[in-house]
Each structure stands twice: as C-alpha cells, then as structure tokens.
Amino acid sequence: MKQIKTLIIALVLFVGTQVSAQSKLAHINVQDLMENMPEMKAAKAQLEKIQEQYDKEYKTMVQEYQTKLQKYEQEAPTAGEALNETRSKEMQDMGARIQQYQQTAGKDLQQKELDLYKPILEKAQAAIQKVAKSKGFEYVLDSTTGSGVLVANGTDLLPEVKKELGF
C-alpha cells in the first residue's frame, strides 16, 4: 500500500514537471501598462473634472444649509413654536437631501470610472493576448503588486505590449 502511494506521488510530480516544462510562461504588470496608456490619462482627467463638479455642487448645498441654519438659530427665540418646528423639519429634509446627493454622486462617479476604464482594460488585454500568441506563450501572469505573483523572473511582456499599443 505504501509503495502504491509513493508511486502515485512520483507519477504526479513527474507529470507536473513535464506539463510546466512544456508550458511557456510570461508576466506583465497590467497596472503599469494601463497607467501609461494615453487613454488612461484622458479618462483620469475626465474623472477629475466630474469630481470637481460634484464637489462644487456639494459645497454649495452645504453652504446654503449652514446659512439657513444660522439664520433660523438667530430667529428662533423670537419666532413662534410652530414656525420653529417647521424650520426644524425643513433643515432635517435639507440635511437628508445633502446626504442623498453625496451618496448618489459617489455611486455615479464609481460607475463612470468603470465605464471609462473598461474599454482601456479590454484594449490592454487584447494587446497582451496578441503579443503572447505571437511569442508562443501559453500563460501570462499579472505581476502587479498584490496580484498574487511572488516571483516574476520570466519574460516580461510589458515592453512588447507597449510597442503593440504604439507607446
């Protein structure tokens, strides 16, 4: 029984080394590639412009809220109870609208980022596949920090993919 187990382990190791010896591996830092693509620079500039618009509108809403709050607090001692209650409700509603705007703006910005980055990623992946195929690589690993690749001493496709994309 022990000999069969040893034989199976040896067979698995032998087959594994044969498969890995026949497979050609390369790596590329996809994040670095995308950061250097002209489309990414344009997308980032567009996102910054949208972010500035959202920030400006948010600040305007907050300033209006603070101005009204200050006015109502000054007039509260002389205003009637019914008026103060109405103003309190108005301020709560206004605060809720500001929070809602902030959440909606954040979601919109995330969606816009996805919409802008998706075609860039697809273009990068297509170029990586084309270069990998032309060089005869069966596997291309992403060597971006944190992607799970611990050692990347093999062929780096980044220069060839940049050349394929024209930069």
Tokens 């620079």 found at: 41
pLDDT, tens digit, 9 for 90 and up, residues 128-151 = 989 988 988 888 888 888 776 545
Tokens 């067979």 found at: 11
**What average pLDDT does the segment 4-33 reach?**
65
Tokens 């034989």 found at: 7
Name the pLDDT band for 47 (thresholds 50, 70, 90).
very high
Whether the per-residue pLDDT at 98 is higher than 90: the answer is yes
pLDDT of residue 48: 97
Pick from 7-21, 25-39, 54-68, 88-102: least confident: 7-21
Rounded to an integer, what is the distance from CA 39 to the centroid of its chain?
Answer: 15
Q: Which fold has domain 24-165?
A: Protein Binding, DinI Protein; Chain A (3.30.910)
Higher pLDDT, residue 88 or 153: 88
Residues linked to residue 142 through DSSP beta bridges, in sequence order: 28
pLDDT of residue 66: 95
CB under 8 A, 24+ apart: contacts of 109-114: 109/47, 109/50, 109/51, 109/54, 112/47, 112/50, 113/43, 113/47
Cβ-contact 141, 149 below 8 angstroms = yes
